[in-house]
Amino acid sequence: MRESRLSQPKQQRLIELFISGSTARTAAALVDVNRNTAAYSFHRLRQLIFQAVKEETLLSGEIEVDETYFGGRRKGQRGRGAAGKVPVFGILKRGGKLYSNVIPDV
């Protein structure tokens, strides 16, 4: 946030509180600024994030999504509920990259 009357340390603290998920009113009290100033700063940060995401669209166009399960023992229960299975989720952008992620045990 370049054009601001706030000092650099206050801007940094507001950004830290924005990232941590605190409300604008709480951030205003902690940084000692007006609540409208904190709300405007949070709004401006959201606008900057939106612009960055809009310019860098990873998943535009046609994509394919699939999940599978790896591992597990052959004996006993089979299928998705078998012990030791690890779910893996994948996204393929047509003519592009493959993004995959192991889903944590929930």
pTM for the whole structure: 0.52
pLDDT number for residue 27: 92
Both 40 and 67 in one domain: the answer is no
pLDDT number for residue 30: 92
Summarize the confidence of residues 42-66 as an average pLDDT: 77
Summarize the confidence of residues 65-79 as an average pLDDT: 68
In a domain, 38, yes or no: yes
Both 17 and 49 in one domain: the answer is yes
Q: Look at residue 28 and tell me whether its pLDDT is greater than 50.
A: yes
In a domain, 97, yes or no: yes
pLDDT number for residue 80: 59
Domain containing 72: what range? 63-102
What confidence tier does 70 reach under pLDDT thresholds 50, 70, 90?
confident
What confidence tier does 3 reach under pLDDT thresholds 50, 70, 90?
confident
pLDDT number for residue 36: 93
Q: Look at residue 50 and tell me whether its pLDDT is greater than 90.
A: no
In a domain, 1, yes or no: no
Summarize the confidence of residues 33-40 as an average pLDDT: 92
Both 96 and 68 in one domain: the answer is yes
pLDDT number for residue 106: 46
Both 74 and 97 in one domain: the answer is yes
List alpha helices for 1-106, DSSP H. 8-20, 24-31, 35-55
**Rounded distance between C-alpha atoms, residue 95 and residue 101, angstroms:** 19
First to last CA, the chain: 38
- How many domains is the chain built from? 2
